[in-house]
Amino acid sequence: MSTVIDTTAPSIAITNPGPICTAPNSCDATAVIDFSLTDGCAADPPTLTIVIDELNTGTFLPGGTLTGTFPDYQVSVNLPIGNHRLRIAADDQCGNSTAETIDFSVVDCQAAGLLCNDQMAVVLMAQNPGIDADGDGDFDAGAVAVNAQMFVNNAGNDCSGPLRYTIHRIDQIDNGTDIPFPNRPALVVTCDEIGFVPVRIFQWDSAFNPLAVQPDGTTGGPNYTTCDAILIVQDNQNVCTTFTAMGNVSGLIITDEGVPVAGVGVSPRDDMMDDMMMTENDGLYEFDLHTEEEYEITPYSPEDYLNGVSTIDIIFISKHILGIQLLDSPYKLLAADINRSNSVSTLDLIHLRKVILGISQTFPNNGSWRYIDAAYNFPNPTDPWAEEFPEHLAIPMLMHDLFGADFIAVKVGDVNGNAQASNLDQDEGREPGDNYYLRTEERSFKAGETLEALFTAADTDDLIQGFQMTLQFDPTLVEVTNIEWGLIQPEHVNQSQLDRGLLTISWNAATDIYDLSVEEMNFFGLQFYAVGEGRLSESIAITSRMIKAEAYGIADELRGLALNFVPASKNDEGFFLEQNRPNPFGDQTIIGFQIPEAGQVYLTIYDTNGKVVQQYQQYFAAGYNQLLVDAQDIAARGLLYYKLETDQYAATKKMVILTSD
């Protein structure tokens, strides 16, 4: 009889974890290392021994937490930043032994926090003749070195030693002439840069993070964080006047909430209109002007009368006139003074509504914006017209640089402050909440018939303060022959576009909405003459064609606005989805559908590959409804599919969006 002896040692396969990042707000990391065993001994699994050489000192000590079962295991160990070694030894039950060692590192992947001053001022110092302080090839009469750390207000703790700071001109970063690297702790400014210089401060740590992407696009290097600031270069000692007798006049055009306004023309004087400049997204204007001359800095308005203006502004102005809720700043009062009469009255509401409806294109005796010297303090904020306030900046004699010549921009008509001030100001409006429904009865008609549609509140318990919309109808199917007035009166409506199938409406409650009876909740009625054959739901719709369709809740909340059709008699069809109209379309299309019960409706639009290109979710009332789809919201063109779903029903159809030329 012979005996078989296993003389093959166990085999250990360790997975290299690569660089391991420290945990947030910590200088340690939990290293997790996977390994597996192979052993031919038929007895119990090998005995494992784990030792660690922390920071590669040459000394191995027991450590780590071992988990898993044969053949797959895992070692977890908490370690500081640095290089480490892990050794795993295995002794099987047949007397065979083996060991494997792996090297790995814990690295600092966290940039320290940074808080900067948003602006700092420096004064140019006189230079000796013939000195080129900034190395641009020109001699500089004045210069000063600006250290990056002068902007640092507070820095967070770091695990890897000293923090370093550099300073860079933002325009040079943007155009690629300066690629930040931790070697520029200061920059030199000269007489060429008097005024505002946008700069970016970099804070670099002393770590080497192999995963960190550097400003030059390479991977591996220190962690860094940045902050932007304005460097104000001043010539208070007139060291630059040896070259030119000029003075810098600069300032910001901002709203009363501090938002910069773009597109404002600013002129230094009436006879210097050729020198007018336009503010950009930073709201900054700047002139280099001859000293010892008189100037009058005047901003001029862009013609964007509808910017930020809607029926909600009429509601707020009405509340102020009635004493229900007063406008709480002099700038809002000036915004409410539509006709520039130095007061706020019902006449301002009339003029504002005409512009909203498209009846008028401008405000009487007024521009789209007004600009007030930011240094001016109204003696009586509740009566900004108590004395004449400055809408220009008078400079009797310019003797030196003048910085901070700021203006407060007031958008006329916009009392709730949602006008878009620049391309960077994208928080113009609020997303609408649940729809408010107008209801009318579904009708079928044939050519030559006369039909009426009465528009009422779908839910008389759902109260609003007002709404605005474009009621669009198909003039090839129906013509409006008469309007029956209810809560909506002639002053709320622009009828000039009826021949094009458009009726614009801006309505707000003239009385306490709670005082209205159910019978009084009729908004208006339309009498149509049928040119062709069809259904009323296929002929009319609420759109944002002329003015944005929206409603305003009791708490001033923004809501959507939708039209709900109820059948004249019980409709046994239940759920159905119509073909969008028009189809194909290039601008907007309407998708009609009917649901037997009120609830959430999901509309998903797909391309031919099944990729979702847009999705809508809204609550709709029971009955026939319509959903307006805008082509600019869909990131695809050509043939598409749309699917309408509720919790019980679903249907899919095709539609085509035309490509633009």
Compute the distance between CA of residue 242 and CA of residue 341 in angstroms, rounded to an integer. 50
Those residues whose C-beta lies under 8 Å from the C-beta of residue 328, and which sit 6 or more positions away, are: none
pLDDT for res 87: 94
Tokens of 403: 């910085």
- Are 29 and 105 within 8 A, CB to CB? no
Task: Specify whether 38 is located in the same domain as 94.
Answer: yes
CATH number for the domain spanning 560: value is 2.60.40.680
Q: Which of 181, 180, 186, 123 is nearest to 150 (CA)?
A: 186
Q: If DSSP codes are grouped into helix, strand and coil, which group holds residue 194?
A: coil
pLDDT for res 428: 47
Q: Which of 624, 297, 319 is nearest to 441 (CA)?
A: 624
Task: Specify whether 361 is located in the same domain as 466.
Answer: no
Q: Is pLDDT above 80 for 2?
A: no
Q: Which domain holds residue 61?
A: 11-107
pLDDT for res 289: 92
Of 88-92, 130-134, 481-485, which range is least confident? 130-134
Q: Is pLDDT above 70 for 426?
A: no
Q: Which of 181, 175, 186 is nearest to 120 (CA)?
A: 186
Sheet with 164-169, strands from edge to edge, namely 119-123, 224-234, 195-204, 164-169
DSSP code at position 466: E
Give the length of the chain: 661
**Residue spans of alpha helices (H) in 410-522:** none
Q: Which of 532, 649, 555 is nearest to 599 (CA)?
A: 649
Task: Specify whether 126 is located in the same domain as 211.
Answer: yes
Confidence category of residue 278, pLDDT binned at 50, 70, 90: very high
Compute the distance between CA of residue 146 and CA of residue 134 in angstroms, rounded to an integer. 12
Q: Is pLDDT above 80 for 569?
A: no
Task: Specify whether 436 is located in the same domain as 352.
Answer: no
Task: Specify whether 575 is located in the same domain as 636.
Answer: yes
pLDDT for res 170: 93
Compute the distance between CA of residue 508 and CA of residue 321 in angstroms, rounded to an integer. 14
Compute the distance between CA of residue 95 and CA of residue 420 in angstroms, rounded to an integer. 80
pLDDT for res 514: 53
Q: Which of 404, 398, 378, 401 is nearest to 390 (CA)?
A: 378
Query: Does residue 223 sit within a domain?
Result: yes
CATH number for the domain spanning 202: value is 2.60.40
CATH number for the domain spanning 611: value is 2.60.40.1930
Mean of pLDDT values over 611-624: 86
Q: Is pLDDT above 90 for 135?
A: no
- Determine what percent of the chain is predicted with pLDDT higher than 70: 94
pLDDT digits (tens, 9 = 90+) for 503-537: 999 999 876 655 555 455 789 999 999 999 988 88
pLDDT for res 386: 93
**Residue spans of alpha helices (H) in 222-357:** 311-322, 330-336, 346-357
CATH number for the domain spanning 39: value is 2.60.40.10
Compute the distance between CA of residue 138 and CA of residue 549 in angstroms, rounded to an integer. 60
Query: Does residue 118 sit within a domain?
Result: yes
pLDDT digits (tens, 9 = 90+) for 366-380: 999 999 999 999 999
Mean of pLDDT values over 178-189: 90
Mean of pLDDT values over 407-419: 94
pLDDT for res 570: 43
Compute the distance between CA of residue 82 and CA of residue 90 in angstroms, rounded to an integer. 27
Query: Does residue 532 sit within a domain?
Result: yes
Q: Is pLDDT above 90 for 8?
A: no
Query: Does residue 541 sit within a domain?
Result: yes
Tokens of 621: 């009332």
- Are 313 and 306 within 8 A, CB to CB? no
Q: Is pLDDT above 90 for 318?
A: yes
Query: Does residue 528 sit within a domain?
Result: yes
pLDDT digits (tens, 9 = 90+) for 342-354: 999 999 999 999 9
Compute the distance between CA of residue 170 and CA of residue 178 in angstroms, rounded to an integer. 9
The β-bridge relationship of strands 20-21 and 97-107 is parallel
Q: Is pLDDT above 70 for 430?
A: no
Query: Does residue 74 sit within a domain?
Result: yes
Name the more confident of 41 and 149. Answer: 149
Q: How far is CA 440 from CA 264, 454, 456, in A?
A: 46, 6, 7
User: Based on the number of CB atoms within 10 Å of its own CB, is 380 exposed (0-12), middle (13-18) or buried (19 or more)?
Assistant: exposed
**Number of folded domains that form the chain:** 5
Confidence category of residue 339, pLDDT binned at 50, 70, 90: very high
Task: Specify whether 575 is located in the same domain as 563.
Answer: no
pLDDT for res 597: 86
Compute the distance between CA of residue 421 and CA of residue 259 in angstroms, rounded to an integer. 7
Task: Specify whether 407 is located in the same domain as 440.
Answer: no
Tokens of 568: 């004249």
Which of 208, 234, 260 terminates a domain? The answer is 234
Q: Which is it for the CA torsion 179, 180, 186, 190, positive or negative?
A: positive
Query: Does residue 67 sit within a domain?
Result: yes
pLDDT for res 109: 87
Beta bridge partners of 367: none
Task: Specify whether 562 is located in the same domain as 640.
Answer: no
Confidence category of residue 280, pLDDT binned at 50, 70, 90: very high
Task: Specify whether 456 is located in the same domain as 560.
Answer: yes
Q: Which of 310, 303, 301, 308 is nearest to 352 (CA)?
A: 310
pLDDT digits (tens, 9 = 90+) for 292-310: 889 999 999 888 999 999 9
Compute the distance between CA of residue 280 and CA of residue 408 in angstroms, rounded to an integer. 16
* Maximum CA extent, the chain: 121
Q: Which is it for the CA torsion 566, 571, 576, 582, positive or negative?
A: negative
- Are 284 and 389 within 8 A, CB to CB? no
Backbone Cα Rg of the chain: 36
Q: If DSSP codes are grouped into helix, strand and coil, which group holds residue 272?
A: helix
Name the more confident of 588 and 525. Answer: 525
Which of 107, 125, 145 terminates a domain? The answer is 107
Which of 569, 593, 615 terminates a domain? The answer is 569
Number of other residues whose CB lies within 10 A of the CB of residue 540: 26
Query: Does residue 304 sit within a domain?
Result: no
Task: Specify whether 545 is located in the same domain as 576.
Answer: no
- Determine what percent of the chain is predicted with pLDDT higher than 90: 54
pLDDT digits (tens, 9 = 90+) for 66-122: 999 989 999 999 999 999 999 999 988 888 899 999 999 999 888 888 889 989 999
At which residue do the structure tokens 């809501």 appear? Answer: 559
Task: Specify whether 134 is located in the same domain as 70.
Answer: no
Number of other residues whose CB lies within 10 A of the CB of residue 347: 13
pLDDT for res 592: 87
Mean of pLDDT values over 173-188: 90
User: Based on the number of CB atoms within 10 Å of its own CB, is 346 exposed (0-12), middle (13-18) or buried (19 or more)?
Assistant: exposed
Of 153-157, 190-194, 388-392, which range is least confident? 153-157
**In 3-state terms, the chain is what percent helix, strand and coil (to 5)?**
10, 45, 45
pLDDT digits (tens, 9 = 90+) for 216-260: 999 999 999 999 999 999 999 888 875 457 899 999 999 999 999
Task: Specify whether 449 is located in the same domain as 564.
Answer: yes
pLDDT for res 94: 86
Confidence category of residue 1, pLDDT binned at 50, 70, 90: very low
